[in-house]
Structure 1
């Protein structure tokens, strides 16, 4: 199994900008922002996910090339937050339900993907992965087909972002994932045990638990880490504070 280079490099932004330090995994950088929001860097490109947060936490970020939105819920999609970003070079990757709510100025920048669709933008392959609750029902927090998780192929590494989902077959069947961002917050997505079982099924090399604040506080990330390591100690679980 290939060994991944992992290091932490201090972020030079001021404390007032709410910036977090950046993790460097080979040629991919990871910067948590808040809850479901984070920034991936690859070469000179930057990919921003679910930037629904205080605009102060976004203002010193690099100009994104792609902005991914997973769902219509307010912790993922916020028009005001988007309007505070420099989107001059950006394409928005969105499900149809998000595109339907964009103002015309942003709708023109949108590339709509349905579950199972793929596209190539900014030199990377992008796949839209289903995200939904089990058992499936019309009353679920997240219904199948509405929102997207995403897989990005960055060079020879595949990166998976779960969005809001339970441990669905489409996640468990993923292959060759280098880095996975896995949600866990009840009652909306998964328990720590569900998330660990899903991770052990598709065996990414590195896992970031994110989107882990739920109705009754934060999930127990250490318990998740222990469950994963007990099942497969080769999987590296990186715990970061998404709620600093």
Structure 2
């Protein structure tokens, strides 16, 4: 039903599963991590109960309280920015750690840093203001994954250090053009880059991954991983 990609790490495979739009699942070393779970619990039926849920910001295509409540397991920990925490029911808030841009935490051997995500183009700054939401940088025993969330190229990307796998949004007016994603890839220099968050509305053709492939420099060392984020589920 879903594309699943496997990457070797020092402590076993990291399995990445694109789910829909901005939602994905990371599985590693007994951990199941849901990133911005939306769209109903049935999307996550193939997976074990999450040990960790990452929430990036408060927009409806990233925060779905009904789905969040449905997928929580008995031991699930939630990580979120303050703007999301403020909207959570008390039972979920009680198990949530808040991170501001630049904060770091650790979860069962996974190092996590919150990274600023925001629009830089003046007419788009109303969509995502600096300091409101988080992208996240994960370290899985030396394999580092950057979930950019809704952003344009930012100076913070240049301070991430080595990144193996990155997820970049690519739709206007909310996030980036293909040329901006190329710029972001130049700042981050991941080994693999996934374009996601590239349609709105979901049933309309948007800035498809092929546009990014065509825009990439021929000498780039980054491999574009084009997956279908809008197939039936």
TM-score by length of 2: 0.91
State how 1:209-224 maps to structure 2 within 5 Å: 209-214=195-200, 217-224=205-212
Q: 1:12 — aligned with what? A: none
Rounded Cα–Cα distance in structure 1 between residues aligned with 2:123 and 2:207: 25
Query: Could you tell me which residue of structure 2 aligns to residue 53 of structure 1?
Result: 39
Matched, 1:242 2:229: yes
Deviations 1:159-184 (A, max 9, x none): 00001000111124322001001111
CA distance in 1, matches of 2:98, 2:191: 29
Tell me what 2:193 maps to. Answer: 207
Answer yes or no: is 1:21 the counterpart of 2:3. Answer: yes
Gaps of at least 5 residues in structure 1 are 1-18
Q: Note if contact 1:188-1:214 (Cα within 8 Å) is conserved in structure 2.
A: no
With structure 1 as the length reference, what TM-score do the two structures score?
A: 0.87
Q: Does 1:194 align with 2:180?
A: yes
1:79-228 matches, within 5 Å, as 79-135=65-121, 140-214=126-200, 217-228=205-216
Q: Do the aligned residues in 2 keep the contact of 1:136 with 1:144 (CA within 8 Å)?
A: no
Question: Which residue is 1:5 aligned to?
Answer: none
**CA distance in 1: counterparts of 2:186 and 2:108, whole angstroms:** 31
8 Å contact 1:33–1:39 — kept in the other structure? yes
- Counterparts of 2:226 and 2:210, CA distance in 1: 8
Shift, 1:60, TM fit: 3.0
Coordinate RMSD, CA, aligned: 1.7
**In structure 2, C-alpha distance between the alignment counterparts of 1:143 and 1:230, rounded to whole Å:** 33
Please give the per-residue CA displacement for 1:202-232, whole angstroms capped at 9, x wherever unaligned: 2101111111113674213112123225251
Structure 2: runs of 5 or more not aligned = none
SS state of the match for residue 181, structure 1?
strand
Name the CA distance, whole Å, in 1 between partners of 2:23 and 2:162. 24
